[in-house]
Chains A and B, each alone.
Chain A
Amino acid sequence: MVLGAIGLAFATVYSPIAYKFVDLKRFKRDESSV
């Protein structure tokens, strides 16, 4: 359960990025344009 909780905590943060709901490239582009 400890390992499961760690994996799920990671999935909670990472899945929107992995699923393309969050676009990290866009954030980088926005920062470079400032």
Chain B
Amino acid sequence: MTNDQTWFSRGKADADKGIPADERLSSAAIAVFSVLMVVFFVSHQTQSTGLFTAEFGLFEQFLFYGYWVVWLTTASLEGILGLRLYSRLFDVFGGIEFLFISTVVLLIIFPFDFQYLADVLPESLRFLLEWVSDDVARVVW
């Protein structure tokens, strides 16, 4: 590695090595999961299940849905489109910072009531999510 290399050329050279199949597959899976999460939470909101409390205003919605859009963007760039360099640029220049800030702010405001998390699922599947309490979500999510 020579001294005249820029951060961009180093990053590009690394990204140009290609994306291993397992990493591409896991990125594609994250993209699909992100879409499912958006559908899941929009269902909660449209059905007014109670998962989102009165504090879930426009700013909180921007942070919450923006969180999933960031995951969808970076995972789609790498997993579906195969554009690792762009995915990494997006991560480093805004993506990860947004994820961090939105997580911290939503943790502080906490506009959720997780006792209703399973309410949009069919009765037979609710046991999958019924164990998630507010405290579990605060720590693990």
A residues near B, CB below 8 A?
A: 1-5, 8-9, 11-12, 15-16, 19-23, 25-26, 29
CB pair B139–A2 under 8 Å, yes or no, is yes
**B12 nearest in chain A by CB position:** A20
Contacts of A12 in B (CB 8 A): 96-97, 100
CB pair A20–B91 under 8 Å, yes or no, is no
B residues near A, CB below 8 A?
A: 1, 3, 5, 7-8, 10-11, 13-15, 88, 91-92, 96-97, 99-100, 103-104, 106-107, 137-141
CB pair A21–B92 under 8 Å, yes or no, is yes
If A19-B88, A25-B1 touch, whether A4 touches B11 (CB-CB below 8 Å) is no
CA–CA, A32 and B82, complex, Å: 39
Chosen A-B contacts, 17 in total, with CB atoms closer than 8 Å, are A1-B107, A1-B137, A1-B139, A1-B140, A2-B107, A2-B138, A3-B139, A4-B103, A4-B140, A4-B141, A8-B103, A11-B100, A19-B14, A20-B13, A21-B92, A23-B1, A29-B3
CB pair B141–A15 under 8 Å, yes or no, is no
Q: How far does the Cβ of A27 sit from chain B's closest Cβ, in whole Å?
A: 12
Tell me if B's interface is mostly helix, strand, loop or mixed. Answer: helix
Partner of A5, one of B10, B15, B103: B103
Most B CB contacts (10 A, CB to CB) among A5, A20, A26 go to A20
Most A CB contacts (10 A, CB to CB) among B91, B96, B107 go to B96
CB pair A23–B7 under 8 Å, yes or no, is yes
CB pair A15–B1 under 8 Å, yes or no, is no
**A23 nearest in chain B by CB position:** B10
CA–CA, A22 and B92, complex, Å: 11
